[in-house]
């Protein structure tokens, strides 16, 4: 009896080690779970479900195989893969959820989010989000030829990287008041999110009641998985590559 949560894998063709680690997780760790939740930024970028990137098909196959073993898979968009649509979700056997959303986790109300909405001090990012959330602009972007979308997206990523280099850690972390407000608004005492890449379990007090915020980690150095069982939540690590001794003979 366990429910699994992952986020911020940031899959791309540049990191086959992370792709391999996730596929291994989907094949060996996730079967038998009650559910798998992917809380955003599964992919490093996403410019439309019609992108013929072979990595997308590989991941759709891997997720679909898990869903066919009767593990329901839920996906919340991240700030990088917010354009991932119903077409890909269907191919991957995933159900798309809104951000934030509330689930019943073994009898406890838990609010799930990617976490970018909680970073209210990052004005540059929140402006980017407001613009790219505009329905008509998305509609327009998705109707551009793939090569145009690729060029625009590449330029936007380069620009964003330069901006983030000058932002402080505090600006890029969640605002405590936004966490409190979200918990209150959804009548929850527990939240699970990703985005900040600072895996931790934060226990605090909200309106006189014990509250818990669990932050998932990224998969750059090692895999990060939250394993939940009734009344228990554990953040676990997964090695990216198991070293094959045959490939590295000792002298």
d(CA 149, CA 147): 5
Q: Please write down the HEC assignment for all residues of the chain.
A: CCEEEECCCCECCCCHHHHHHHHHHHHHHCCCCCEEEECCCCECCCCCCCCCCHHHHHHHHHHHHHHCCCCCEEEECCCCCCCCCHHHHHHCCEEEECCCEEEEECCEEEEEECCHHHCCCCHHHHHHHHHHCCHHHHHHHHHCCHHHHHHHHHHHHHHHHHHHCCCCCCCCCCCHHHHHHHHHHCCCCEEEECCCCCCEEEEEEECCEEEEEEECCCCCCCEEEEEEECCEEEEEEECCCCCCHHHCCCC
Please pick, from the candidates 3, 7, 79, 224, the single residue that binds ligand OKV as defined by CB under 6 A: 79
Is residue 79 part of the contact set for Mn ion (CB under 5 A)?
Answer: yes
String of contacts with ligand OKV for each residue 149-178, x by CB under 6 A: ---xx--xx--x------------------
Residues 141-200 that bind Mn ion (CB under 5 A): 195
Question: Which part of the chain contacts ligand OKV (CB under 6 A), choosing from 57-65, 107-115, 126-134, 230-238?
Answer: 126-134
Q: Beta strand pairing status for 209-215 and 200-206?
A: antiparallel
From first CA to last CA, the distance across the chain in angstroms is 45
Chosen from Mn ion, ligand OKV, none, partner binding at 195 (C-beta under 5 to 8 Å by type): Mn ion
Instruction: Judge contact between 215 and 196, C-beta under 8 A.
Output: yes
Of the candidates 10, 24, 77, 80, which one interacts with ligand OKV according to CB under 6 A? 80
Give me the least distance between CB of 10 and Mn ion, in Å please: 8
- Is 83 a binding residue for ligand OKV by CB under 6 A? The answer is yes
User: CB under 5 to 8 A by kind: which of Mn ion, ligand OKV, none does 132 bind?
Assistant: ligand OKV
Part in contact with ligand OKV (CB under 6 A); list of ranges 41-49, 96-104, 193-201, 219-227: 41-49
Residue 80 in marked binding region: yes
160 is in an annotated binding site: yes
45 binds ligand OKV (CB under 6 A): yes
Region binding Mn ion by CB under 5 A among candidate stretches 74-82, 99-107, 122-130, 226-234: 74-82
User: Has 143 been labeled as part of a binding site?
Assistant: no
- Distance in Å, CB of 183 to ligand OKV, minimum: 24
Q: Which residues are annotated as a binding site for Mn(2+)?
A: 8, 10, 41, 79, 114, 195, 197
Q: List interacting residues with ligand OKV (CB under 6 A).
A: 45-47, 79-80, 83, 125, 128, 131-132, 137-138, 141, 152-153, 156-157, 160
């Amino acid at each position: 009896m366990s429910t699994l949560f992952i986020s911020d894998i940031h899959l791309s063709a540049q990191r086959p080690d992370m792709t391999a680690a996730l596929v291994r997780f989907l094949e060996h760790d996730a079967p038998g779970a009650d559910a798998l939740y992917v809380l955003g930024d599964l992919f490093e970028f996403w410019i439309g479900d019609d992108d013929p990137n072979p990595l997308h098909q590989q991941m759709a196959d891997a997720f679909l195989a898990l869903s066919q073993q009767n593990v329901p898979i839920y996906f919340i968009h991240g700030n990088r893969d917010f354009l991932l649509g119903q077409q890909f979700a269907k191919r991957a056997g995933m159900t798309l959820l809104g951000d934030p959303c509330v689930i019943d986790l073994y009898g406890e109300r838990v609010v799930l989010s990617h976490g970018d909405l909680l970073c209210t001090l990052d004005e540059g990012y929140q402006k980017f989000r407001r613009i790219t959330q505009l329905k008509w602009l998305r509609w327009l972007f998705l109707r551009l030829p793939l090569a145009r979308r690729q060029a625009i997206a590449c330029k936007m990523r380069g620009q964003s990287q330069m901006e983030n280099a000058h932002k402080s850690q505090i600006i890029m972390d969640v605002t405590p008041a936004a966490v409190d407000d979200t918990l209150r608004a959804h009548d929850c005492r527990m939240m699970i999110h990703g985005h900040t890449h600072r895996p931790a379990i934060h226990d605090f007090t909200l309106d006189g009641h014990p509250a818990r915020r669990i932050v998932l980690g990224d998969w750059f150095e090692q895999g990060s998985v939250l394993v939940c069982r009734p009344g228990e939540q554990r953040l676990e690590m997964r090695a990216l590559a198991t070293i094959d001794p045959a490939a590295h003979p000792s002298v």
